[in-house]
Structures are given as structure tokens and as C-alpha cells.
């Protein structure tokens, strides 16, 4: 079983709980309850795969931001501010990368 916390941890309260193929349902329930009740985090269950749920969606955005900057379409500050202010990201994609 794995727990994937998101950075910055103090700002993002999401945790992906990742059971192994042999994890009992009772164990998944107990860890999920602990993560929610004790740690105060929102839980989503992510099956074990590359990138889990969130990072598999996030990485295409990061690659696109890098390509836009590298091709000269936009300055790094603009792509960063656009995502922070326009998409409510706590950190810019380029800084995250």
C-alpha cells in the first residue's frame, strides 16, 4: 500500500491511496479512514499504475508548458502566471517541473 502526498504538502490536502494487488479491502478502508480522520486529508483511491491518477493528468500540462517556453511562444513568467492565476495552481508548472 502506498500513500502519494502532493506538494506543497501544507497547501494541498489530497492523498492518493494506492493499494497493492493483494491489499485486503479492510486494509484499504482502514488506511483511507486514517488518512481522512487523523491526517485530515482528502483521499482518492488510485490503482497501481504509472503516474497514478493526478500525475498522469498533470505531466502533459507540464510538457506543454515547457514546449511553449522552449519554442519562444511565451516567456516563462507568462506561462507560470497564467496557470497560477488562471487555473488556481498553487505553484507554476515550470517551477513544479
Instruction: Write the DSSP assignment of 28-73 as a string of letters.
Output: HHHHHHHHHHTT--EEEE--SSTTTTHHHHHHHHHHHHHHHHHTTS
Query: What pLDDT sits at residue 88?
Result: 78
For the chain, residues with pLDDT lower than 70 are: none
Query: What pLDDT sits at residue 67?
Result: 93
Query: What pLDDT sits at residue 45?
Result: 95
- pTM, two decimals, is 0.70
Amino acid at each position: 500500500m502506498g500513500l502519494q502526498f502532493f506538494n506543497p504538502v501544507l497547501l494541498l490536502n489530497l492523498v492518493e491511496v494506492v493499494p497493492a494487488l493483494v491489499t485486503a479491502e479492510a486494509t484499504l478502508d482502514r488506511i483511507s479512514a486514517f488518512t481522512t480522520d487523523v491526517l485530515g486529508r482528502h483521499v482518492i483511491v488510485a490503482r497501481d499504475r504509472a503516474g497514478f491518477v493526478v500525475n498522469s493528468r498533470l505531466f502533459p500540462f507540464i510538457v506543454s508548458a515547457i514546449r511553449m517556453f522552449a519554442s519562444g511562444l511565451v516567456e516563462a513568467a507568462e506561462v507560470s502566471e497564467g496557470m497560477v492565476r488562471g487555473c488556481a495552481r498553487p505553484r507554476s508548472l515550470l517551477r513544479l517541473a
